[in-house]
Structure 1
Amino acid sequence: MFIETETTPNPASLKFLPGQQVMPSGTREFASPEAAEASPLAQALFDTGEVVNVFFGGDFISVTAAPGVNWSTLKPQVLSILLDHYASQAPLFAPGTAAGISVPPEAEMQVEEDPADKEIIEQINDLLDERVRPAVAGDGGDIAYRGYKDGVVYLTMQGACSGCPSSTATLKHGIEGLLKHYIPEVTEVRAAG
């Protein structure tokens, strides 16, 4: 088995492509060792002591190194863990855990939405699904919708995009511009969480 790696705009993150499906649907982020207990693979990556975030996408895994960690020493460890996981055909998630949820329960909607905005919210989610998520996945991450209220769209960057130096610019200049262009009711995009 050969696992490709790609750099991401976040210098602390690398994207690993195992050449097969990782998540059958949705995405899953592990931002702490406690969260990683749901997945033996994520837990093994955190057990290196040098990983601060693991993100499962459709066909990739993004890993974020702790501050000060050198990828030249961490990358072989991560590749070894991934190769062992796929060679053993171990399950991605521990039995009895919630597998493919892209929004952990503690980070669901952060604003109370007005039912009258249902059509606008559908348009926002359609644009995010069609135009934004594919581009963000290309960089090793995802974007989670957190709500819409009074013209403001609340989003959270995930995976390699979380903590990326360019994530603020992506939200403010890229995504905000796109949403404002297609949906005049949108006045601003804010990072949630």
Structure 2
Amino acid sequence: MIENKEKAVSVYAEANPNPESMKFVLSTVLLPEGVSVDYPDVEAAANSPFAQELFNFDYVSRVFIASNFVTVTKNTSDQWVQLIPELRLFIKSYVEAGGPLFLQDPLAEQTQAVTDATGELSGDDAVISHKVIDLLENYVRPAVEQDGGNITFKSYKDGVVTVNLQGSCSGCPSATITLKSGIENLLKRMVPEVTEVVAEGVTETW
């Protein structure tokens, strides 16, 4: 079980391009740099007592946890100005009290996800997939985390890269623009074999 040992923690809310999400930045580390977890519902949060507690707020629909922040997505028309004080106080109190963040190390889960995505690939497809993963990890993730989200590699086949949108990126009105004008152009330029980038679970038509 991974617990937080800090006692004095400051928390502030930071808006991002998704109006339904809010990024809560902490003065302490929740996860190692480069590791993040995305919980689209309470069932997915079985490994995180912290996230499960956040889902107890009936307006919380998604929880994303990264190095030093938590992104909360709401499912209500209530304004963030009404919700931020309650969430900020809960996060601060929970972490300061040393409440358990995770039952098992999320790094192992993240590593397994990459293995599952690339394990059956061979030859050129495997090489291309690892190039894409490296670019997403080193060039895209740091920028996207600034907005309280993440984009992870799902699969590569016949020139098409499929990614998962996490945290504030999921359901964000500007996510498709970022995906097409930014990430797709980057991958096409750096990996010529890539012809298109699509996001799993996005309903917009490009």
Question: TM-score normalised to the size of structure 1?
Answer: 0.89
Question: 2:37 is matched with which residue?
Answer: 28
* Correspondence 1:95-110 to 2 at 5 A: 97=104, 99-100=106-107, 101-102=109-110, 109=117
Any idea what SS the aligned residue of 1:58 has?
A: coil
Q: Which amino acid aligns with 1:62?
A: T
- Once residues 112 and 59 of structure 2 are traced to their aligned partners in structure 1, the CA distance between those partners, rounded to angstroms, is 23
Aligned residues: 189
The question of 1:124 aligning with 2:148 is answered: no
Change (3 A) 1:176 1:50: same
Deviations 1:18-40 (A, max 9, x none): 11111125111111122234322
Deviations 1:51-93 (A, max 9, x none): 0000001111101111423212211111121011111111202
Alignment check: 8 A CA contact 1:29 1:102 kept:
no
- Once residues 64 and 81 of structure 2 are traced to their aligned partners in structure 1, the CA distance between those partners, rounded to angstroms, is 20
Deviations 1:144-174 (A, max 9, x none): 1001111111101100111101111111111
Gaps of at least 5 residues in structure 2 are 1-8, 202-206
- Once residues 78 and 42 of structure 2 are traced to their aligned partners in structure 1, the CA distance between those partners, rounded to angstroms, is 17
Question: 1:50 is matched with which residue?
Answer: 59
Q: 1:188 aligns with which of 192, 196, 201?
A: 196
Q: Which amino acid aligns with 2:133?
A: N
Alignment check: 8 A CA contact 1:4 1:16 kept:
yes
The question of 1:90 aligning with 2:114 is answered: no
- Once residues 7 and 99 of structure 1 are traced to their aligned partners in structure 2, the CA distance between those partners, rounded to angstroms, is 26
Any idea what SS the aligned residue of 2:63 has?
A: strand
Alignment check: 8 A CA contact 1:41 1:92 kept:
yes
Q: Which amino acid aligns with 1:149?
A: K
Identity of aligned residues (%): 40
Change (3 A) 1:175 1:99: same
Runs of at least 4 residues off by over 4 Å: none
Any idea what SS the aligned residue of 1:177 has?
A: helix
Question: 2:167 is matched with which residue?
Answer: 159
Q: 1:177 aligns with which of 171, 185, 200?
A: 185
Q: Which amino acid aligns with 1:191?
A: A
Deviations 1:115-137 (A, max 9, x none): 33222122111111111000011
